[in-house]
Each structure stands twice: as structure tokens, then as C-alpha cells.
Structure 1
Amino acid sequence: MNKFLLRFMQTGAALPFSAFTWLLTYAGFDQTFWMSSLYGLIGGGVMFFGVGYILQRRVLEKNRLTKKEYKYIQRNLKEANMKISRVQKSLFSIRHIRSLKQRIELVRLVKNIQKLNAREPRRFFKAEQFYFSHLDSIVELSEKYAFLSSQPGKNRELERSLYDTQDTLKELTKIVEKDLNYMLEEDLDHLNFEIDVAKYSIKKQNEIPDETRRLK
């Protein structure tokens, strides 16, 4: 779950409960203002952390993850966010119009994988090769590409390096696309199964004579 949304939900539940606890102890149990404030603070804290615990448990159960696995995934996604920012900064600083479409496509694929794993952390285990190998290569090559392309004077050797780097990034784009397809493999199989079932139902329905339908 998004950390900002989690904190918002925790605060949204804790503040009203804290105010209710203060009012209950102050007006209902004749406590002093300061003691009621203390009870209200304690009540709000219990609600804040209680809601956080319940919501986190739901996320773990939904994704069939242990707390240790979830923390491991979140730590790696956080590191990946920083790497993706570096990739975006590098690739969009390059003034090469012919490769713009390919660079946009690469960034789009990378961000799609990241968004999918942030929304469904369980998928991370099918994307480990992307996070621990392919993404690092993309960061290194995109920054090298941006650096070389920013040089004012370009000799033949530099031009060759730029071409090789660009060509390698194209290959990495294809690999990242395969990473994404691998993550979505089960979803595609399920979708194809549902399509086959629907087609079979339509076929059987079309085989029923119109007279039989009217009798029904």
C-alpha cells in the first residue's frame, strides 16, 4: 500500500478517536483537562498503530507474503525508484530526435513494471532479474549515453561508442518488454481461458434453434 495513503488513513482514524476519548474522559468520567488530554493522546496512538497493523496484515494476506518478504520487496522498490529517476533524467537529457521514441518506450516499460510491483508486491519475485540485473544495466548505459552525447566535439571513435550504446539500449528495451510479459504470463493465460469459455458459450447458444429459445 502507498505509504502516503496508509498514513492518511491512520491519521483519519486516529484524530476523531483521540477527540472522542478526550471528550469521554473529560465529560463522562470527570477527569481533568490534562488527564483527558493524556488519555486522548494514548487512544489516538493506539488507533493510529492499530489501523496501520490491520491494513498491513490485509496487504500481506492478499499478496500471500510474510512481513519479512514485504519489507524486502519494499526496500528494493524504493531503491528502484531512485534508479528509475536517474534513467529518466539521463535519457530525456539526450538531444537525439531519432532515438526519442525508443527512449520513451524504454522508460514507459520500466515504469510499468515498477507500478505493477508497487500495486501487487507478490509479482516482485517474477521480476527479480529485472531489478537485480537489467535495471542496473539500463542505469549505467543511459548515464553513459547522456554523458557521451553531451560532448561538444565528436570524433569517429566517440560516434561509434554512441551508436553501440544506443543499439544496446534497444536490445535492453526488448529484454525489459520480455520481463513485463513474463510478469503478466499468468494473467494472459487466465484471460485466454476466459475467452475460450466465452466463445464456447456463444457457440452453444448459437446452436440452439430459435424455436427452442422462444419456448424457453
Structure 2
Amino acid sequence: MNNFQQFLTRQAIMLPVSFGSWLALLLGAGMGFVPATGLLIAIYLAGDFSIRQIQTTSEVKRLGMTRSEYKHIDHQLSEAKAKLRQLNAHYGNIRSVQAFRQLNELNKLSKRIIGIVRQNPKKFYNVEKFFYAHLDSAVELSSKYALLANQPTKDEEMKAALQQTRETLGDLNIEIQKDVKRALATDLETLRFELDYADVLTGKEKKELEAPKDKTLPLEGDDSDDRKQIGS
């Protein structure tokens, strides 16, 4: 689900085609500048749309997903990036070092999950709680904390609310760390399997190397019994 790479591919195809068509219409067909430019835009948009559909179909087949699943996950990724921008907007309003570290950790963990799902959209189903609840909670809590922290006067009740918010942010950090582990779970299982398989092969090869070699059979005529018979 590399949208930027797909965008570059479309541009690499459509820009030369559109510009070439525009020159052909303008110089070869003698069409006026305005209608030729209008057709250039139409050719570009139609071609870009067609290639985008082909790219989506190809990606859906590669991933073994339905088109609706793919679009839903892509939409969730776009929303998650927007929420992450909201989360980052509170950096300047945080005064506590502890809260700043918590917010920074939330940001890094969230980016990692989004990156993992973008690379492999099927992993979305391992971390649905992150997209539907945990990231929303992070944005809401950071917004609440920034609002309370910027109040000119703070009574005991407000200080208690700030402390509680910091503790909740800490708990949320733990939950999102678990989300990261869930996102990587299948990769870890694959890695363990590959390591176990490699260990089996390594052990087999080691046994073969340590096994005693077969002794070379004596050549015909060199047998000790034969020598004794000859001597007698």
C-alpha cells in the first residue's frame, strides 16, 4: 500500500503521454491552444484514473483482500495520520517533562503501527483497537492535558486532574506498546519458525560432520590373512 510510489508511477506514465498528445494536437492536427490544453487535461485525468484502478486491483489481488476491505483500511490509515497531526499539535502546550516524554512515546509508537499496517494492510485486523479507540484516546487525553496545563492558576483539584491525566497517558502508552507487539506477532512467529528450521538444519549438518568416517577397506592382496598364507 505504497501510495507515493504508485503516484510516481502514474506520473511517469501520464506526463509524457499527455504532453506528447498535446504537442500532436497542437502542431500535428493544427488545433488551437485552448482546446488542445483542454484535451491534455482530460487525457491526463482519464489516464491517471484508469492506472489508479489497475494499481488498486493489482494490489488487492496481491494481498488476497476484497476491494472494499482495501479501501476501508486505506481510509483508516488516512484518518490515523490526521489524528497523529492533532496529537503532535499539542507538543508546544505541554510543560511537564514526564507528559512530554509520554506524548513523544505515543507519537513514535503510533507512527510505527501506521507504518506496519501501510506495508501490510492485513495487519490492520491485529490492531483494530488502536485505530478505533487507542489513538482517539491519545488525542483526547493530550488535548485535555494541554488545556489544563495552560490555565493561569491551578488549584488542588486541577493539579489532581493533571496527575490523573499523566497516569492515564502512561497506561495508554502500555496499551499501544501491546498494539505494536500484536502488529508484529505474525512476523515474530515466522521468524521463530525460520530460526527453528535453521537450528534443525545446523544440527543435522553438525551431526554429519561429527559422524565417524567409514574406514577404507584393504586392497585385494593386502589382507593380513593372505600375507600369513603366503609366508607359510
Pick the TM interval, shorter chain: 0.7 to 0.9
Are residue 32 (structure 1) and residue 29 (structure 2) matched?
yes
TM-score by length of 2: 0.77
Letter in 1 for 2:205: Q
Q: Is the 8 A contact 1:117 1:124 kept in 2?
A: yes
Aligned Cα root-mean-square deviation (Å) = 2.9
Give the corresponding residue for 1:150.
150
Unaligned runs of 5+ in 1: none
> What per-residue deviation string (whole Å, max 9, x for no partner) do you get for residues 87-135 of structure 1?
1222453111234333221211111111222222222222221111111
Letter in 2 for 1:151: Q
Q: Aligned partners of 1:149, 1:91: CA distance in 2, in Å? A: 12
Q: Alpha carbons of 1:51 and 1:99: their partners in 2 closer, same or farther (altered >3 Å)? A: same
Give the corresponding residue for 1:169.
169
Q: How many residues align?
A: 209
Letter in 1 for 2:197: V
Q: Alpha carbons of 1:162 and 1:10: their partners in 2 closer, same or farther (altered >3 Å)? A: same
Give the corresponding residue for 1:48.
48
Unaligned runs of 5+ in 2: 214-232
Letter in 2 for 1:180: V
What does residue range 187-206 of structure 1 map to in structure 2 within 5 Å? Answer: 187-206=187-206
Specify the structure having the higher radius of gyration (Cα): 2
Q: Aligned partners of 1:108, 1:18: CA distance in 2, in Å? A: 41
Are residue 126 (structure 1) and residue 123 (structure 2) matched?
no
What does residue range 17-166 of structure 1 map to in structure 2 within 5 Å? Answer: 17-20=17-20, 32-34=29-31, 41=40, 47-91=47-91, 93-166=93-166
| Offset, 1:45 | 5.3
Letter in 1 for 2:123: R
Q: Aligned partners of 1:19, 1:94: CA distance in 2, in Å? A: 51
Letter in 1 for 2:183: M
Q: Aligned partners of 1:156, 1:26: CA distance in 2, in Å? A: 75
TM-score by length of 1: 0.82
